[in-house]
Structure 1
């Protein structure tokens, strides 16, 4: 801060008082949730809501990538539900950090087109580093707050934060697919808000708060309020600067989004259990491909939470629930990308040539390009007739 010279002290407010006032204002801002410092009435209302995540109340990451917030109840108001179509992004704050992003997601906002180039955006704390045990090796992704598949936004600096590969492709994608699947399958709408949570003057968010509630059915199909940690197993992050280093102090991931509450009585195809597999059809799978080199699509990485613990220790062998013998051939076959047909009601997967496919109702049938391991990790079991 530039202190006025003595000849300017004759102004209405003495320089020492101006400096004191600025310091107090900054201290007050930093003691509130980040959202309270951002512009926009919807952000102010979220910050004052009991559903807002408080940085002091977030437990230390211990292996659960995602945890429930406010008993999984989102903090939307009656006025939020009465609004028509909208999509709002916060202005960057004085540190260049993103604030909350809020939208009504519907068929009018979903996007199936490949994501455009976002390499020119450098979010706050962007200090990229390569680790051979991280999926696709780069620690950070340019993580969309509102996913590309939900809103079609590309290089919007108000919608991109520095997020670890695990937070982006495992944690956030799990909930994004819940929202996307509901809209695709019903044509209805979902209120959706994502708020990056920073501590004090950190440039890298400690994680993101994700809230969603389906509108037309009063939240019966989709309702969640979760916090997703911005962590990478095996990597210590300096959240103030974005710098990082390898460390065994950051534990492997023991649970992802499946350990949280995502709504009351939601059917299997609205809970996200099949989301990463089903969404591989067409270009939807790559819609949220915020890879750091911006050329390699995400492919099936959003289903890789079962492999993250092994990746974090540098192991090349993915978890393979179906491989009782542990042979290399079986492991390779289970990790090979293939075409499958899913029954989202029975949670079975089949070869496309299986005779049972003809018996699946159209509203329960989905095609997927995935590995056997990925489908099993998402809760599906192989058909006993065709033994895929």
Structure 2
């Protein structure tokens, strides 16, 4: 004997109205219980699929603050004009350091890293190497990105930013207030390795009530 067709629990008109109500509620962020959605054969929420990608974690311990700057009285002598002295490249073509007397007029006079310059050890593309052409004297402080003596291969994250940027921003804020800052950046290498092991930053404001007076090292690690 043929089975009778089971009638839907609701008339088509009621179904249509219910579906419209559910869709409108979904638009306004009102979550409709799954059981009700299943009755009317509609789903407004996408099910979340767990991500299999592990978050990138860093083993870099962060900046190591070593106390106040160690400039001699002679090194802290003020000059009318600011200056930057890039030290010579070593026999492997690695940048060896830079000294500067930073004045407010030097802010934002630097240049971005020249893509035609490849500091020793640098591999193009942030991934998978995470390398950057790191300025010794930052661009916002007047450092040149067109002089190989001012560029060394750093891990972009977290070394170049946010670690190094944190201290450059402190200097920048002091310059914006009219201060003069003595600054030195020194990459420290281990043997003939092309990437520096760490980078040392040292800065001291020449104003009496300066807020800038630090010596810090940052490991060049991811």
TM bucket (normalised to shorter chain) is 0.5 to 0.7
Contact 1:110–1:152 (Cα < 8 Å) also in 2: no
Aligned to 1:126: 122
Name the CA shift for 1:122/1:67 in 2 (closer, same or farther; >3 Å). same
Gaps of 5+ in 1: 1-60, 132-136, 233-388
Offset of residue 161 of structure 1: 0.4
Count of residues paired in the alignment = 162
CA radius of gyration, larger in: 2
Task: Provide the TM-score with structure 2 as the length reference.
Answer: 0.67
Name the CA shift for 1:116/1:127 in 2 (closer, same or farther; >3 Å). closer
Structure 2 SS opposite 1:226: strand
C-alpha distance in structure 2 between counterparts of 1:152 and 1:146, whole Å = 5
Aligned to 2:150: 159
Aligned to 2:173: 181
Structure 2 SS opposite 1:175: helix
Structure 2 SS opposite 1:108: helix
Aligned to 2:87: 90
Between the two structures, name the one with larger relative contact order (CA 8 Å, sep ≥ 6). Answer: 2
Contact 2:113–2:135 (Cα < 8 Å) also in 1: no
C-alpha distance in structure 2 between counterparts of 1:116 and 1:198, whole Å = 24
C-alpha distance in structure 2 between counterparts of 1:145 and 1:118, whole Å = 14
C-alpha distance in structure 1 between counterparts of 2:187 and 2:113, whole Å = 22
Gaps of 5+ in 2: 1-57
Aligned to 2:205: 214
Contact 1:194–1:209 (Cα < 8 Å) also in 2: yes
Give the RMSD, CA atoms, in angstroms: 2.0
Aligned to 2:62: 65
Aligned to 1:226: 216
Offset of residue 130 of structure 1: 4.9
Name the CA shift for 1:140/1:93 in 2 (closer, same or farther; >3 Å). same
C-alpha distance in structure 1 between counterparts of 2:125 and 2:113, whole Å = 20
Contact 1:138–1:165 (Cα < 8 Å) also in 2: no
- Structure-to-structure mapping, 1:201-350, within 5 angstroms: 201-217=192-208, 220-232=210-222
Contact 2:183–2:204 (Cα < 8 Å) also in 1: yes
C-alpha distance in structure 2 between counterparts of 1:230 and 1:116, whole Å = 21
Q: Answer yes or no: is 1:150 the counterpart of 2:145.
A: no
Structure 2 SS opposite 1:111: coil
Aligned to 1:172: 164
Q: Detail structure 1 runs of 4+ shifted over 4 Å in the superposition.
A: none
Q: Which one has a larger percent helix, Structure 1 or Structure 2? A: 1
C-alpha distance in structure 2 between counterparts of 1:171 and 1:200, whole Å = 24
Structure 2 SS opposite 1:125: coil
Task: Provide the TM-score with structure 1 as the length reference.
Answer: 0.39
1:75 to 48, 70, 81: 70
